[in-house]
Structure formats: C-alpha cells, structure tokens
Amino acid sequence: MTSSASHVHHDGHGHGHVHGHTHDHGDTGQDDSLAEVLDLDAEIFAPYLTSVTARIAELAGDGVRHVVDLGSGTGTGTSALLERFPHATVTAVDSSPAMLAGLVEAFRAKGLGERVRTLEADAGTGLAGITDADLVWASASLHHLDDPATAIDGIRAALRPGGLLAVAELDGMPHFLPDDAVADRPGLETRCREALDGLHAEQVPHLGADWGALLTASGLVVEQERTERLELRAPLPAAAGQYAHAVLGRIRGAVDGLVAPADLAALDTLLDGGPADVRHRDDLVVRSTRELWLARRPAAAA
C-alpha cells in the first residue's frame, strides 16, 4: 500500500499535453477556441497520453469499472481511458454545459455514448454522491478550482478505498517559436509568455501548486510523480501548425493590453494567413513541460 514516490526528469520527443488557461465560462467563443486547443493537443501529443494511461493501468490493474474525468473538457482523457479500460464507464464532470454537450455528441457519434455519462458541476464542491470511482483523472483542471485542498478531499471521498487519483498538470503555455521569429521583435514569444504568467498568477493562482503535498495532506498516498520536458521538432505532426495557431490566438486574446502594441502587431503577423503565419512556417519547435502525480486512497483498515 505504501510506495515510495519516484521523480523522473525526462527530455522526450513526441510526448506532451497542453492547454489554454484563460477563464472560459459563459463565453461560447472562448469555449470553442479552448475546445480546439484541447483536441489538437491530444492529437499531437497522443503518444504522451498513451504512455500516461499505460502508467495508470500498471497501478490500477484490470479492475477499473468506473472512471471520473474531472474537468473533462472535450473528453480527451475520457477517450484515452475508455480505450485503455475497455470494461469501464466514464463520468465526465465539467462546469461548462457547452463542453459537456460537445463531449456527449462526440461520444455518441463514435458509438461510445453508452459508456459515458456527464455531470455538470463545480468539481470544487464534491462529486454528487459518487463513492465508487476506481480512478479519477484530473488533467489541467485542478488548478482552475477555487480551493483545491477541499476539492481533493471531495475526490478522495469519491474514490473507493484503494482507488487511484491521477493529476496531470503543466507549466503554462507551450513554446513554439525561435527568438527571431519576427525579425524586428526578437523575444516576442518570451515577452508574451511573461505577460501571460502574470495574468495566470492573478486568475489561476493554483497553477504550479505543490500537488504532491496537497494530495498527501488529504490522506492520499502518492505512488508516482513524474516531470517530462517534451520537445517536438521537424518533421512535426500535420496538425502542429494549426495547434500553434490556436494556442497563439488564445495568447493574443489574453495579452491584449498587457504587451506593447508593436508586439501585438507582430503576433498578428503570425496569425493572419500571410507569409509569417505559424501554419506555414518550418521553424516551429513545440516545447512543453508536463507533470503527473498518481496517488491512491488507502484501502480501509482491516
């Protein structure tokens, strides 16, 4: 039951997982652009997601029947976990009705509607009577919650004794561009990223929290902790340019007013379909750091 936590740094190729982090609720356009980023991210970094679900299966064993996807978004994790655990059903929990509606439609279209149910809820306030989850998957969602410590207590209560919580987080937006991507604005992406980090510090203060400590404080036993620094270089997957465009478009929206007008104009040249547009460039390198914690609710004392 008690295992030591391992911490592995890995500079890998072909793995990763990335999200936008602006506040999206109640704004359909923002939901749409987030949905696009989430789906492209899952496509580009599919090998990483596959490796993560394999790691989960090693600890969870064959008996996984009920999975909760907490902050499910478009269902990238739901999809990967349905495939990994063919006898499982997934409860997709999200506070965004638009995300859940899209998810339901997508899984119905794939013929998997019977294996997915949805729960529209603030995941920070408990999981509506769920007490039998074999696995809770929380990818890029816990940092959105107002009070993650209370939320983790709620997750613990939703897990059966012996059940697993997988927390996947990331260090912010991915990087794509060389320093001189726009000749007269060197360092453009770094400045935008710094502006975004400042915004995140205000809007999503739990981004980068010490999740291992929070899980332990809630009485969960952290069995694995991994950090992977991911880097994709040419030849990139076909969707990489569109992914860069979707992410940088969201960054453009978030940093409007926070960076110099000349930087905004330079960002526009990367997005406007012209010769510098990220969808046409051959100098993109996709870099992102992903973290994973796997923690178990201890089995009940005999």
Ligand X SMILES: C[S@@+](CC[C@H](N)C(=O)[O-])C[C@H]1O[C@@H](n2cnc3c(N)ncnc32)[C@H](O)[C@@H]1O
Sheet strands (E) in the chain: 7-13, 66-70, 89-94, 116-120, 133-139, 159-170, 221-232, 286-296
Q: Which one among 22, 30, 33, 38 touches ligand X, defined by CB under 6 A?
A: 38
Q: What region, left, alpha or beta, does residue 168 occupy, with left being phi > 0 and alpha being psi -120 to 50 degrees?
A: beta
Nearer to ligand X, 81 or 255 (CB): 81
Minimum distance from CB of 147 to ligand X (Å)?
Answer: 10
Site string for ligand X, 160-199 (x = CB under 6 A): ----------------------------------------
Estimate to the nearest angstrom the gap between the alpha carbon of 120 and the chain centroid: 18
By beta-carbon proximity to ligand X, the closer residue of 204 and 276 is: 204
d(CA 37, CA 253): 14
Site residues for ligand X, window 73-132 (CB under 6 A)?
Answer: 73, 76-77, 93-96, 99, 122-124
Tell me the C-alpha distance between 182 and 68, whole Å.
43
The identity of residue 277, as a single letter, is D
40 is an interface residue for ligand X by CB under 6 A = no
99 vs 181, beta carbon nearer ligand X: 99
- Paired residues of 291 in beta bridges: 169, 227
One residue of 40, 44, 64, 140 binding ligand X per CB under 6 A = 140
Peptide bond into 235 cis (omega under 30): yes
Q: Which residue is nearest to ligand X (CB)?
A: 73
Residue (125 or 227) nearer to ligand X, CB: 125
For residue 138, the minimal CB distance to ligand X (Å) is: 7
Contact 244, 286 (CB under 8 A): yes
Q: Which of 33, 141, 224, 288 binds ligand X (CB under 6 A)?
A: 141
Nearer to ligand X, 115 or 281 (CB): 115
* C-beta of residue 82 within 8 angstroms of C-beta of residue 112: yes
When the beta carbons of 122 and 283 are compared against ligand X, the nearer one is 122
Helix H or strand E segment including 176: none
The residues that touch ligand X, with contacts defined as CB under 6 A, are 19, 38, 71-73, 76-77, 93-96, 99, 122-124, 139-141, 144-145
